[in-house]
Structure 1
Amino acid sequence: MAVIGHDEAEKAFLEAWRGGRLHHAWLLAGPQGMGKASFAARVARFLATHGRAGEGHAMSLDDPGDAAAGKLVDAGNHPEIIHMARQLKDKSKDLARNITIDQVRGMIRRQHLSLSLGEWRVIVIDAVDDLETDGANALLKTLEEPPAKTLFLLISHSPGRLLPTIRSRCRTLRFQPVDRDVMTSWLHDIRSMLDMAELRAIVAASGGVPGKALALIDSDVAAMEKKLLAIASSGDPGNRLREALAREVGGTSNRARLELVIDIVPGLLAQIARERPIAEIASVLAQWDRVQRNVRDAIRGSYDGAMVGFEIGNCLAELAPRHAQTAR
């Protein structure tokens, strides 16, 4: 699939490589879903399949380079590409809360080994925001005295939360939300079966983040809107619809569905407000304020997706016509 939103970052990296001025650490900063991990994978493959910095005239990170090295990268077996991320908990499908100090120490030990293939060792940390405190400090020491021919790609969704000393030792590439018209055209090219009205709604809800737009498409926006409107129109007597919503968006694996609900509720409330008498608009706005408070409180706390989903359902149920509320 074609990438979007990487043009400026790719240009900056290739200019540094061609000029032999490749900084040892790059901070890939921007909203989650901008494709920063995809960009890091392209950079890692590029360095694994090309020679010394400044050699050659590759015009793109997707220049194939050495075919044998490329096959190893594609198979996930290239010895000089190290990928660090949160690991699965023991006997669990859930990810650990952090990238641990032991993972960082393992990466540092690898740095003492001689390169066995190619000119570069590439270390991708996805995301550097997930490092526990000791791990961040250990990484900082490595960035202060970087090994030769080693390049760090630090993916960050919230660079302001990183240690300032880590940020100061990196060259930052910023991945900004994509313009609406560009995003709409891109989605139309890769999802041509969607009508333009639905595409525009998805682009608006995505905030210019390609990964979020794709998640919205894959989550079936229309089906979710229908479920939420059913709560708002019926009042959900017996809580059946709200309980189903809570199950659907609860748990770590359903975070994308919860974010989808949070994204599309404003549009639904606007639709409801347009259909109500002027005297009832204030009550619709009050429920939107309530939704925002619930989301903020959840983020500050444990972010219980099921609870947030049920509370959003409660807000919508309060907007049911009076005869439906009486039936409750």
Structure 2
Amino acid sequence: MAAMIGHQDATSAFLEAWQGGRLHHAWLLAGPQGMGKGAFAARVARFLVTHGRAGGGQAVALDDVGDGAAARLVDAGNHPEILSLTRQPKDKSKDLARNITIDQVRQMIRRLHLSLSLGDWRVIIVDAVDDLENDGANALLKTLEEPPAQTLFLLVSHSPGRLLPTIRSRCRTLRFQPVATDVMTTWLHELRPMLEMPEVRAIAAASGGVPGKAIALIDSDVAVMEKKLRAIAAGGDPGNRLREALAREVSGVANRTRLELVIDIVPGLLAELARERPVAEIGPILAQWDRVQRTVRDAVRGSYDGAMVGFEIGNCLAELAPRTR
């Protein structure tokens, strides 16, 4: 598993509270999606059920193994005192439901009335708490107001400002901030040493300091996507072959990261064209950049049709090809 990045402050805050015997019953893990908040919650859960109560002021790390038998249950996904609430697949399809339902919350609450069957702690992970139905959020709030003993709630939130203020007020907040570009670059280079440094730097810049997005960009093959965009800008793509391929590759929810990658690459590509071409040609380049921005803005307001956005971005670049101007 890749080493975590951007969790140092959150890790220190949690371990300090645990070692001092002042472990708050509910923690709100807040920050951009892709910061690894869910992974951090899983690490905390594993730590608690394998270490139990603090004692003796011993120095520990969050990933210390602790009790081996309990650790093996966690690794197998079978530890009885770690409960996770996430969106579930709809019917027999692979698509996830829009929300975490009230029935899921009620089932979790019923479990809270049972005695601990193993160890000193029970951990509830809600990932993401933003996905709760209104009734589910209210039911969770009542539990947070009167929490069972030796139960820890870890609430992952990508948009904490949208939560019920009363839920936020019952939690201690850990904020996961975007990682500095130089730190991200070093981390990515260590993680994927086979990548060329210019590509690593481009991915680090495009990620916005979000590690999960950086990994997704690598998996989307940034070099291949950039090569395709450059080819459209250079040759105009007669016959639409490249544009149609681009539209397919960024269509649908599963390819949303690829679409974001294309959107991130285009500004740098247009800036490069502006530097390379005569001053008189800068105007058309800026006009196409305005067109790209309008396309993305309109898509966000509407259904966010990835194929349409990708094809239209290709159109903008094709307009700048030397033989089509």
TM-score tier by shorter-chain length is: over 0.9
Q: What letter is aligned with 2:91?
A: D
Report the Cα offset of residue 234 of structure 1.
2.6
Aligned to 2:40: 39
Distance 1:133 1:310, change over 3 A: farther
Structure 1 Cα separation of the partners of residues 63 and 202 of structure 2: 32
Cα offset, 1:52, TM superposition: 1.6
What is the rounded CA distance, in whole Å, between the counterparts of 1:103 and 1:295 in structure 2?
A: 36
- Residue 212 (structure 1) aligns with: 213
**1:108 and 2:109 aligned:** yes
Match of 1:266 in 2: 267
Offset, 1:194:
1.7
TM-score (norm 2): 0.94
SS at match of 1:238: coil
Does the CA-based 8 Å contact 2:318-2:324 persist in structure 1?
A: no
Task: Tell me the residue number matched to 2:49.
Answer: 48
Residues 200 and 120 of structure 1: CA distance in aligned 2, closer, same or farther (over 3 Å): same
- Aligned partner of 1:87 in structure 2 is 88
Residue matched to 1:171: 172
Q: Does 1:126 align with 2:142?
A: no
Q: State the 1:55 CA deviation.
A: 5.8
Which residue pairs with 1:189 in the alignment? 190
SS at match of 1:124: strand
CA distance in 2, matches of 1:313, 1:132: 39
Contact 1:121 1:151 in 2 (8 A): yes
For 1:161 and 1:55, the matched residues in 2 are separated by 40
1:199–1:114 Cα change, 3 Å: same
Q: Which amino acid aligns with 2:315?
A: N
Deviation at 1:307, TM superposition (A): 2.1
Gaps of 5+ in 2: none
Q: After alignment, is 207-216 or 51-60 more displaced?
A: 51-60
Q: How many residues align?
A: 324
| Corresponding residue SS for 2:110 | helix
**Secondary structure, in 3 states, of the residue corresponding to 1:99?**
coil
Distance 1:181 1:25 in 2: 33
Aligned equivalents of 1:41 and 1:297: distance in 2?
37
What percentage of aligned pairs have identical amino acids? Answer: 81
Q: Contact conserved, 2:236 with 2:319, CA < 8 A, in 1? A: yes
Please tell me whether the aligned partners of residues 47 and 66 of structure 2 are also in contact (alpha carbons under 8 angstroms): yes
- Give the C-alpha shift of residue 28 in structure 1: 0.7
**Corresponding residue for residue 324 of structure 1:** 324
**Residues 209-254 of structure 1: CA deviation (Å, up to 9, x unaligned):** 1111111112111100011122222323333322221211111111
Aligned partners of 1:215 and 1:256 also within 8 Å? yes
- Following superposition, the deviation at residue 70 of structure 1 comes to 0.2
Deviations 1:270-301 (A, max 9, x none): 12222222122122222222222222222232
Separation in structure 1 between the aligned mates of residue 7 and residue 61 of structure 2, nearest angstrom: 11
